[in-house]
Amino acid sequence: MDRIVICRCEEVDLEEIEQTLINYQCSMREIKLRTRAGMGYCGGRTCRPALNAILEKVSGEKQPHQIPLKVQPPVRPVSLGRIGETNYE
């Protein structure tokens, strides 16, 4: 049990996120771009609270840094084919 996976979609573990946070002193958005945590198939809906909690713990501030992880549509994964289809029933 020494490897705690935080983002299951992209398989990013706690240690990698903490290390990246310590090394770059960055926002959660930057963590997402560096490690791909929260960038996977589920749209980051599963690990976002955990990611924010990790940032809070490492930086020691409530609502640390300026750039949060944003939430944007679609709320669940949709294939491009579905969006483009004109006569989809």
Partner 1 sequence: MNSHRILDHPVLGKLTIEKEIPFTFDGKKYTGYEGDTIASALLAQGIRTLRVHEESGSPRGIYCNIGHCFECRVTVDGTPGIRACLTELNPDMIIESGKQQFSPFKSTENQDDLPRTYAEFEKQLKGEKEDEPDV
State in angstroms the smallest separation of the CB of 66 from partner 1: 28
User: Whose Cβ is closer to partner 1: residue 45's or residue 63's?
Assistant: 45
Please give the residue ranges that form the binding site for partner 1 (CB under 8 A): 8-9, 11, 41-42, 45-46, 76-77, 79
State in angstroms the smallest separation of the CB of 82 from partner 1: 10
Cα-flanking dihedrals φ and ψ of residue 50, to 5°? -65, -40
5: enclosing H helix or E strand = strand 5-7
The Cα–Cα gap between 32 and 39 comes to 7
48: enclosing H helix or E strand = helix 48-59
Q: 73 by DSSP, 3-state: which?
A: coil
State in angstroms the smallest separation of the CB of 26 from partner 1: 22
User: Whose Cβ is closer to partner 1: residue 5's or residue 58's?
Assistant: 5
